[in-house]
Amino acid sequence: MSKLLKLKIVTPERLVLEEMVEQVTLPTTEGEITILPDHIPLIAGLKSGDVVAFANGEHIPMAVVGGFVEVKPFDSAQGKQTEVAVLADFAEHVAEISNEKITQAKASAEELKKKFENKEIVDFEHFEAELERSLTRVKIADKWRARKYRK
């Protein structure tokens, strides 16, 4: 049996994914990286984009916004293994992003842009976070719409 990674994707609201995977590709602030078993320990900031795990011949795409990734070794019954912990501000599986959610995200982005024009009543941090979440959902859903992935 080939070596696997233990992947955990967590947001403040929920555990999004916990699974043994062959590899995972992440959008870090320094560029896109792919983590394989026995990767060196690492902590990096995440930027908005898609985290794509690969297991059993299938892609498992997740839309993520912000956060950190930590790669570290751990001891298991199978010996030394690698754990990848993604601590994201927001994350959801691409299959969770329905056409209705995409429409809502686009409408939300437009509404937030209009509010931005009235600079006196805008909470800029909230505006930026909501806009980034909406735009990431749309971008990642469009990217994976015609691709094959595990739901």
Say whether both 91 and 115 belong to one domain: no
Residue 44 is assigned to a structural domain of this protein: yes
Cα 19 from Cα 148, distance rounded (Å): 19
Residue 149 is assigned to a structural domain of this protein: no
Does the pLDDT value for residue 1 go beyond 60? Answer: no
Cα 103 from Cα 108, distance rounded (Å): 9
Work out how many domains the chain is built from and give that number.
2
Say whether both 79 and 30 belong to one domain: yes
In the block, tokens 């719409």 appear at 145
Say whether both 27 and 58 belong to one domain: yes
Say whether both 40 and 20 belong to one domain: yes
Average of per-residue pLDDT across 52-57: 93
Q: What is the pLDDT of residue 47?
A: 93
Query: Pairing relation of β-strands 23-28 and 49-55?
Result: antiparallel
Q: How many CB atoms lie within 10 A of CB 76?
A: 12
Cβ neighbours of residue 37 closer than 8 Å, sequence gap 6 or more: 2, 3, 4, 5, 22, 23, 81, 82
- What is the domain-level CATH number for residue 38? 2.60.15.10
Average of per-residue pLDDT across 49-76: 92
Q: List, for residues 81-129, the tens digit of each pLDDT value.
A: 999 999 999 998 887 776 776 677 667 767 766 766 666 655 666 667 7
Cα 137 from Cα 36, distance rounded (Å): 26
Q: What is the pLDDT of residue 150?
A: 64
Does the pLDDT value for residue 54 go beyond 90? Answer: yes
Domain with 55 in it: 5-95
Say whether both 121 and 89 belong to one domain: no
Average of per-residue pLDDT across 64-76: 92
Say whether both 131 and 89 belong to one domain: no
Say whether both 117 and 54 belong to one domain: no
Say whether both 136 and 108 belong to one domain: yes
Residue 105 is assigned to a structural domain of this protein: yes
Q: List, for residues 2-38, the tens digit of each pLDDT value.
A: 789 999 999 999 999 999 999 999 999 999 999 999 9
Say whether both 135 and 68 belong to one domain: no
Say whether both 105 and 68 belong to one domain: no
Look at the alpha carbons of 146, 140, 137, 15 in this order and tell me if their dihedral is positive or negative.
positive
